[in-house]
A and B are shown apart, each in its own frame.
Chain A
Amino acid sequence: AQRVTQPEKLLSVFKGAPVELKCNYSYSGSPELFWYVQYSRQRLQLLLRHISRESIKGFTADLNKGETSFHLKKPFAQEEDSAMYYCALKSGGSNYKLTFGKGTLLTVNP
């Protein structure tokens, strides 16, 4: 069975500091991984997916199959990055089932 683990429930950094949100997964197939973000009073939205290998809002994430990780990184955190971040794994082949981690609440202090 697939599983996504986000070990940190809360993460607090200062503006301008680097930030890394950790995500580990367990899946026997070929994984497709995503980061979703939920800003205060907004709906859940896709931040980035590993297959695109792109940087969104300064965030990047690299899939490391050896370590089964997909950590989200940003070199210089901004106050507007404060949000709840969820790592998610797509599985199921013919259907778009997402398995989410429990989320990490990131707070960027001024």
Chain B
Amino acid sequence: ETGVTQSPTHLIKTRGQQVTLRCSSQSGHNTVSWYQQALGQGPQFIFQYYREEENGRGNFPPRFSGLQFPNYSSELNVNALELDDSALYLCASSEKPDRTTDTQYFGPGTRLTVL
């Protein structure tokens, strides 16, 4: 069984640029959720993808967008980067979006720094 993987590990961008972060879900999982974790804070839900469709969104502006592919891997895109976007971005996969007994498995994260 392969765990959740994310790439890249670290990324440095400048204000106004665009960034794409990638996530491969755990084998057998069709649901991917993205979280932003600012320094000293808990993870904050950005959005979730289930079977290639967005299945819920947190309180993030439209410049945060995502995709899920037929193999259930996912991308998080952030346009017009701002300094406050500097954070650890976590991806989590689960088997189904709403099963109570399900577990979200987290990836190691991508550390984004915006200068």
Chain A contact residues, CB within 8 Å of chain B: 4, 6, 32, 43-46, 51, 86, 88, 90, 92-103
B42, A96: Cβ atoms closer than 8 Å? no
Contact residue among A32, A98, A102 (Cβ-Cβ distance under 8 Å from B100): A32
- Contact A98-B98, Cβ < 8 Å, known A44-B43, A92-B56, A103-B42: no
Chain B stretch 38-62: residues in CB contact (< 8 A) with chain A:
40-45, 48, 50, 55-56, 58
Q: How far is the CA of A7 from the CA of B102 in the complex (A)?
A: 28
Q: How far is the CA of A43 from the CA of B104 in the complex (A)?
A: 12
Provide 15 A-B residue pairs closer than 8 Å at the C-beta atoms, listed in order of the A residue: A6-B42, A43-B4, A43-B108, A88-B42, A94-B55, A94-B97, A95-B48, A95-B56, A96-B31, A96-B97, A96-B102, A97-B48, A97-B56, A98-B43, A103-B42
Q: How far is the CA of A46 from the CA of B92 in the complex (A)?
A: 11
A-B contact count (CB 8 A): 62
B42, A86: Cβ atoms closer than 8 Å? yes
Chain B contact residues, CB within 8 Å of chain A: 4, 31, 33, 35, 40-45, 48, 50, 55-56, 58, 90, 94, 97-98, 100-109
